[in-house]
Structure 1
Amino acid sequence: MSKLLKSIVSMAIAGAVSTSALAADGTINFTGDIVAASCKIDGGAGTNVGGNKGNQNIDVNLGKVSSDSLAGGAGGGIVGGKSINLNLDCGGTAEGLKSVKLQFDPNSGSGVDSKNVSLLKVTGGAEGVGIGLYNSSNKLISLGANETIDGALVPTTEGDTTTYTAKLNLRAGYVANGDAIKAGPANGTLPFTLTYE
């Protein structure tokens, strides 16, 4: 066998091996829709909403709470609860849709608490505590499991115009995560997205 033929055979084998290394083991298929729905959020008591549609910041002050109240049995490890009642005004943009979901993205904010993945990790120096979010049934929402707060879109018709509103009610509070409690600032950020069905 000539050197040229050996070289061609070697390159063909190398090409076959490198092609098989790129073979796919599976496929991820993404589906979805972009909808025209756009809701403005109005916060209830204890919250301050700033910004326009699509860029709204909700400020919730959980106050100053005693580390003893978190560590003791009286509060059950949960203190500083504040109601967050969000009223959504979607105008006429939600036609054909039934519900809106508040979906959280903790990893783009403070993160998920390493001791309890249901809680939002706090920043600022406090330890042994996370921020818990509760739905309207007072059930802790698992941020690590991507649970959502859901609300029905309610149509109201006046004359020829139909507008849509929704209410999303939740509560937030400090929750002991099982580590030793250390005093300090306990802040958190939790980006969210409104999705529609």
Structure 2
Amino acid sequence: MQKKLTYAIRNLMAAAVVTGSAFAAHAADGTINFTGEILDSACTVDTSTATQTVNLGKIPKSAFTGVGQVAAATRFSIVLNNCPAAVTSASVKFDGTADAIDSDILALSSDQTAQGVGVALYEEDGVTPVPLATQSKSLTLDTSSAGSPAVAANSNTMTFVAKYKATKATVVAGTANATSDFTITYQ
């Protein structure tokens, strides 16, 4: 009996040691401080660019000779007005339905008949991609007239390029429209 009791106590203690180590508290490995500022107001997006249609034109499917080929480079802009002195720069994040093959570009809207192509977005240089859900490069803002009603409101233009981009070796002809929302982030 004594032997059974000793054996049971030893097993119970071993289980407690193993279980206790699984729940032991660990010291913090580091600290993250979150900083920011809530602004009274930010820039206003010019109404002519808040909602716009960018016409990529009619492109022959022969323009796409393979996956990754691009065509129909078209510039478009987002204009920010009345930027307060509290902000010094801004960047844009484009969101929308990502292409199933290339998640960095916009998928065509579901009612479109073209296939094997999406809409890619680029910085003003037309070379540097702006992947979906990623901030563009920052633009230094002109806030020189902020708070001065006698001076015309400042205006800042952020320019981008949209292109069709082949996601398959064979592109099927048809309508090829896509939609993106955008969000401005101020620094």
Partner of residue 37 from structure 2, selected from 34, 37, 56: 34
Q: Aligned partners of 1:190 and 1:6: how far apart in 2?
A: 65
State the partner residue of 1:78: 70
Pairwise CA distance, 1:95: 2.1
Who wins on radius of gyration, i.e. which is larger? 2
Q: Distance in 2 between matches of 1:102 and 1:130?
A: 20
Report the Cα distance in structure 1 between the residues aligned to 2:147 and 2:128, rounded to whole angstroms: 42
CA pair 82-18 structure 1, distance change in 2 beyond 3 A:
same
Q: Unaligned 5+ residue runs, structure 2? A: none
Residue 175 of structure 2: which of 179, 185, 191 is its match? 185
Give the Cα separation in 1 of the matches to 2:107 and 2:28: 36
The offset of 1:27, in angstroms, is 5.6
| Matching residue within 107, 110, 113 for 2:97 | 110
Structure that is richer in strand per residue: 1
- CA positional deviation for 1:69: 3.0
Q: Does 1:13 align with 2:14?
A: no
Post-superposition Cα deviations, 1:136-157, rounded to whole Å, max 9, x if no partner, equal 2222314169351432211233
**Alignment correspondent of 1:135:** 123
Greater RCO (Cα-Cα under 8 Å, separation 6 or more):
2
RMSD: 3.8
The secondary structure found in structure 1 opposite 2:64 is helix
| Matched residues, number | 177
Partner secondary structure for residue 122 of structure 1: coil
Match runs of 1:25-64 below 5 Å: 29=32, 31-36=34-39, 37-42=41-46, 49-50=50-51, 58-64=52-58
Tell me the SS of whatever aligns to 1:181: coil
What percent identity do the matched residue pairs reach? 21
- Structure 1 unaligned regions, length at least 5: 51-57
CA distance in 2, matches of 1:26, 1:173: 45
